[in-house]
Amino acid sequence: METEDKGSCTSETEVNVHNTRSVLLTEFVNWAQKKNNLIRLLQDSLCEDGRICLEFSIGKDENFTLLCPSEYPNYEDHFFVEATPPLQFWCNALNEFILDADVLLSLDVILEKAASLYCRKKSNSSPCLSSSESDPEADLGEFMVVDGDSEEGEEWEHVLCQRKKRWRMKEAELRAITKQPKTSDMFDGHVKDHPEQVFSNSAASGILMNDLIAIMESKHETGINAEPIDDNIYRWAVFLSSFDSQGKLNQDLQQLHQKYGYDYIQLQLDFTMDLYPFYPPVVKVVRPRLQGSMMLRIANMDLLKLSHWNPTRNMKSVLQEIKAYLGTWARIDLSSNRNDLHYFPQGAYIEMENYLLWLAWVSEIPSRAHQRSPEAECETSLPHARESERKKCQQKSLFPAGTGYSSPSQEGWNVNAYMSAQREKDKQIEYVLQKILQELRKSSDSSREHFGTDDTCTSFIVPSCSSRSSVTEVTEGCIANHYKTMHDSNHVAAAPKKQCRTGLQSDSDVTEYKQSTPSEWNSGVCSQQNGKSPIDPTEDLFTVLEASTLVPFLESKLQVDSFLEICRHTEVYRCVVDIISEIASRPKLVRLLWSLPDQVQSIYTLVTRLEEKAKAILVQITKTSANGNIPSATSAKQKNTSSTLKINNKSFCVVSADVETPEEERLARDFYQMSHTVSTALGNQGLLATYDKDQSPSTSQQSPRPQSPAAGMMDCDQALTATYKEALKDLQFLSCDIEVEGASAHHFSTHFKKALPPNSAQVIRIAQEMAALSTSLPLDLGSAIFVRTDDAKCTLLRALIIGPEGTPYSGGCFQFDIFFPPQYPKSPPLVHFCTTGRGRVRFNPNLYSSGRVCLSLLDTFMGLQGEHWHETSTLLQVLVSIQSLILVPEPYFNEPGYEILLGTAKGKRCSQSYNEDVLLHTVVHAMVAQLKKPSSGFEDVIRTHFWIKKKRILTEIKAHLKTHNNTKSLQRAYESLCAELNKLTPVSSKTTEETALLDDPV
């Protein structure tokens, strides 16, 4: 059967090829009958990749080949032309016409264009043989040789043909060595979510070649020249010269020429194979050394960021914009010895700077030097990009997103595509972080204490988007072979007086340049002879790191809200831990972890916060998992999670070698250990004035307690907010006994009893969730969320959400029972709304009287793709979604179809009536009933909440009494509430004093 299928498939392919050939040959015959014999068909054949190969002769004795798509005339690939050397420029012009076309071209259109271009090429020596009536001068610039001399032009065409052959051979060699796939798997399975590979490999590389040739041909007009390094079309050496003669940069270049013998700025461009032109190149400055952070700012230009990259631009225009940018803002550091071609042939920048540049490019995070540059915004920002973002922000939904009632016309967010792209980005970030770590460790080697050992090789690697192993490295030293060609009398820059060595030693990870330099240079004598003292390499490294993207990048990674987010990017965060630990081990670099100028939060501050999160998850893991089993039920009714276990802090840093520790737990311990390492290093440098080596940084550097709200000049709202937070912050996340029997039994008790104990992976995930909740629950005077968990029943939880002010739910206490099913986190948690007046009240279109919670994130209603539960979603997201998307000021419009009434008189009347009912139910069931019989586990929360806010709540209800249609019912509810509030006793004497000072009698 399989053989028959293959035979059938082969037969079908042959039929398709035969049909395509017939169509092409018929079109050619029809076209040729209307024309003269300028173009003649010699033969047709089938290429290995399935394309139809048509060989033509044109003129008297010149030939060319047209590669035709196998699906013609309904094709997705492109035609492509190959020709002999004398026709190379004609070939380039024809290919540009084909690739730039906005519509599918037919064979006769391509042949007509070919004949037209050929006649114009020969117009200076012979009459046009074509019957085309178009202007013979219209497209002359598309292919005519720039030099103007026919003999020199023919010679240039021949040289160019030979080069293109070498470029293609090099490309084939690179593909064979790296075994790189033809396209990146970055967006595998998500075709619509990334730029499609619309060109074949030959066409894609042909675009790059055409761009390069265009730059070469216009070097005299633009002052820009380029050449592939070691014939690698995906890596260019670019030379910029002929800047504004009145500009300061040109003056610097003249001085540079007098001192070091060259007067150009050299760049290196690295293109990602098979993704250009849809992926921007990496651009780095090779030499000379520019003042300030210009090298990093070039890499961070908006036009070079993927989010702003325009694939329709050619590289000539991109380089012209970079040149103009340099001419406006750049100055050369003429005092740097690294501008010397003899002693630093590999470039004026150290290897670390190149990897930091790469990090800035991959992460799209600007460097510190760029951030503090006053002209940075006007230099690199794109006005049209900002306008586009502004317009996006103006597009608002008619109702809260995520409530399950999104319009079918709205575009969903593809979570899987986003996660796939994020994983790809993580691979590149991890790779460059590993390189940065290697450079840090190399620089700590005692053998590099003396300045002069040249490890500044600027070999720059762009990894494959799909595999770390598929890396091709071509060192810049190889461009020496091209200097003679590029810097003859017809080129823009003179050749350097001394050439660099090309002998490089490399392994799979590191390529280190080794140069036989004079012993005087190795000992730093050379610098002294130039009137300068030797450079301290570590101080030099500190300066580079401080101005780079590294610190802002670390800040961004350490500002996560939960440890769960860290565990989603394990490899990246392991590199972050290693880099910070390495910096902490270097006394001259440890200052990077302390407060830096213009820094909002230091690395140390962020690390100590993450230490608390790591500690929380380790406590939860210890409590919920004992040798793979769930701990037995505790006897205490309610207890604080941070006090349930007497664990030595040092035990968090130790992992038994005999126990296979989950990766998430190991990473948490590594973060905890890193925090202590950083604190110790800063303490040893005297940067922590109150540092105590016997205490953790979180306890030795605690933030001061807030002042009493009665103190200072705060207004009443600020003071009441401070009092509210201070009184309730320790009650937000606690552990208690959640009953599975009796009147207060958890709604999902039956589910819990039937379910098997959670496996180790689920225990770890739940521990991560609990750790995130313990530090991230919202708490404000206007609204707050409280959670109760059970150490013995980790899959059961309870939540209490205080209704947000400004809504009909304001001040009410709404209980939700939560259960993690056995399929969690593949499936969402089960959530039941308990405050329903014994099943009689529906508080919201999304909160049913049966207790059902309608929310896309819970998969209880169809919403947009990005609104549904994903295994990376969290319980915190669920709780915040209920608080902010369901408990809203006008819940009436959450009902499907009712959004069309928004802004109408009828909609306003209906919404007001709906709110009046909700308000009445809130007072009766979420206030009075909660005061009479508080939700189990939240007794202290409810009493404290109403004691502090009682006068504020009563004032708000009295205001509603003036406009409420059902005044009698609301008045009775108000009186009942007053009676219950009068029964409350002070939670503490301090709270009593503060609220008495803040509130006026009602």
User: What are the structure tokens assigned to 563, written together?
Assistant: 């440890």
Measured in whole angstroms, the distance separating CA 108 from the mean position of its chain's CA atoms is: 46
CB 228 within 8 A of CB 212: yes
Tell me 149's DSSP state. -
Q: Rounded to an integer, what distance in angstroms lies between the CA atom of residue 546 and that of residue 552?
A: 10
> Cα-Cα-Cα-Cα dihedral of 909, 914, 915, 916, to 10°?
90
Residue owning tokens 């007509």: 112
Q: Rounded to an integer, what distance in angstroms lies between the CA atom of residue 807 and that of residue 872?
A: 31
Beta strands 784-790 and 80-83 are: unpaired
User: What are the structure tokens assigned to 206, written together?
Assistant: 């042909």
Closest CA to 108 of 41, 63, 207: 41
CB 744 within 8 A of CB 763: no
Q: Rounded to an integer, what distance in angstroms lies between the CA atom of residue 837 and that of residue 851?
A: 10
Q: Rounded to an integer, what distance in angstroms lies between the CA atom of residue 267 and that of residue 509?
A: 24
Torsional class of 139: left (φ above 0), alpha (ψ -120 to 50), beta (otherwise):
alpha
- Burial zone of 707 (CB within 10 Å; 0-12 exposed, 13-18 middle, 19+ buried): exposed
CB 942 within 8 A of CB 991: no
Does residue 277 have a cis bond before it (omega within 30 degrees)? yes
Closest CA to 668 of 618, 626, 633: 618
Q: Rounded to an integer, what distance in angstroms lies between the CA atom of residue 935 and that of residue 751?
A: 21
> Cα-Cα-Cα-Cα dihedral of 764, 770, 771, 776, to 10°?
150
- Burial zone of 91 (CB within 10 Å; 0-12 exposed, 13-18 middle, 19+ buried): buried
Tell me 693's DSSP state. T
Neighbour tally for 119: CB within 10 Å: 20
Helix (H), strand (E) at residue 287: strand 282-287
Annotated catalytic residue 978: no
Beta strands 784-790 and 733-736 are: parallel
Sheet holding 62-68, edge to edge: 39-46, 52-58, 62-68, 80-83
**How far is the CA of 705 from the CAs of 558, 613, 701, 949, in angstroms?**
24, 20, 12, 22
Residue owning tokens 């089938």: 46
Closest CA to 558 of 540, 577, 571: 577
What are the residue ranges of helices labelled H in 364-443? 368-371, 376-380, 383-394, 415-443
| Cβ neighbours for 711, distance < 8 A, ≥ 6 positions apart | none
DSSP structure string for 165-218: HHHHHHHHHHHHHHT--SS-STTTT-GGGS----S-HHHHHHHHHHHHHHHHHT
Q: Rounded to an integer, what distance in angstroms lies between the CA atom of residue 94 and that of residue 90?
A: 6
In the Cβ-directed half-sphere of 998, how many Cα atoms lie within 13 Å?
A: 29
Closest CA to 997 of 708, 636, 784, 753: 708
| Cβ neighbours for 76, distance < 8 A, ≥ 6 positions apart | 69, 198
Q: What 3-state DSSP class applies to 500?
A: coil
Q: Rounded to an integer, what distance in angstroms lies between the CA atom of residue 113 and that of residue 66?
A: 13
Q: One of 161, 854, 910, 978 is an active-site residue; which one?
A: 854
Just list the catalytic residues: 854
